[in-house]
Amino acid sequence: MVIKLKEELMMNSFKTIDGRGASVHIAGGACITVQYVTNIIIHGINIHDCKKRGNAYVRDSPSHYGWRTASDGEAVSIFGGSHVWVDHCSLSNCDDGLVDAIRGSTAITISNNYLTHHNKVMLLGHSDSYTRDKNMQVTIAFNHFGEGLVQRMPRCRHGYFHVVNNDYTHWQMYAIGGSAAPTINSQGNRFLAPNDHVFKEVTKYEDAPQSKWKNWNWRCPLVEEPLQAMQKLQVCQLDRPRWWLL
């Protein structure tokens, strides 16, 4: 089953999209928006080839519809949402991010997903100047970041992010990035870096000189043999962020 949405699917609070037992694709049109709602589960859906839509009337509840400006084309857009779980989905090749969470969103878990063929994969935090995202808490666990990905797995701002037990097998720029002093706990992940030495950054500190990022609270894996893709890996707590080349 392929569902091509003319406009965004606006989630209401306390709702679940569950694709278990069927092959459900949301593709080729607008995709899913979680805006100022809470307690959302998106499970077992293939979401890909999402397009920019909007400048149209869109229903956002059973009793209301209104004018919406253009969307960015994310697979899952979380805007001021909370208690959101995206689990066991396949995500790829959208106009904007695969999962973006901004504008005070928090209590988000992104787990057991398969992500491929995309540039800016996951943005967590609206901007360096939007300090309300300091309350953001996100767990990214047991995902596969695979073929054709470029960057932002995730790209974090301000809040607290636990990136744990993910499998990174491809990137073209970097895996985990951040700015605006986020707290990132990267734990138990497997990183298989590209063969090109130019693109072997696991972590990247965006838009900040060393005088600023040296005081950020990042905890990263320590690779004892950096050129032998994760033959030895142990987790350490760092006093300051560092780059690891695998």
Cα angle for residues 50, 54, 58 (degrees, 5° grid): 105
Q: What is the amino acid identity at position 176? A: I
Rounded CA separation 122/120 (Å): 6
Q: Is 152 in the active site?
A: yes
Catalytic residue among 53, 152, 155, 157: 152
Burial of 236: CB neighbours in 10 Å, binned 0-12, 13-18, 19+: exposed
Strand spans (E) along 53-187: 56-61, 64-68, 76-79, 82-87, 90-92, 99-102, 106-111, 114-116, 118-120, 122-124, 137-141, 144-145, 149-151, 155-157, 160-164, 167-168, 174-179, 183-187
Rounded CA separation 218/26 (Å): 35
| Closest to 58 (Cα-Cα) out of 3, 8, 5, 4 | 8
Burial of 158: CB neighbours in 10 Å, binned 0-12, 13-18, 19+: buried
Positions marked active-site: 152
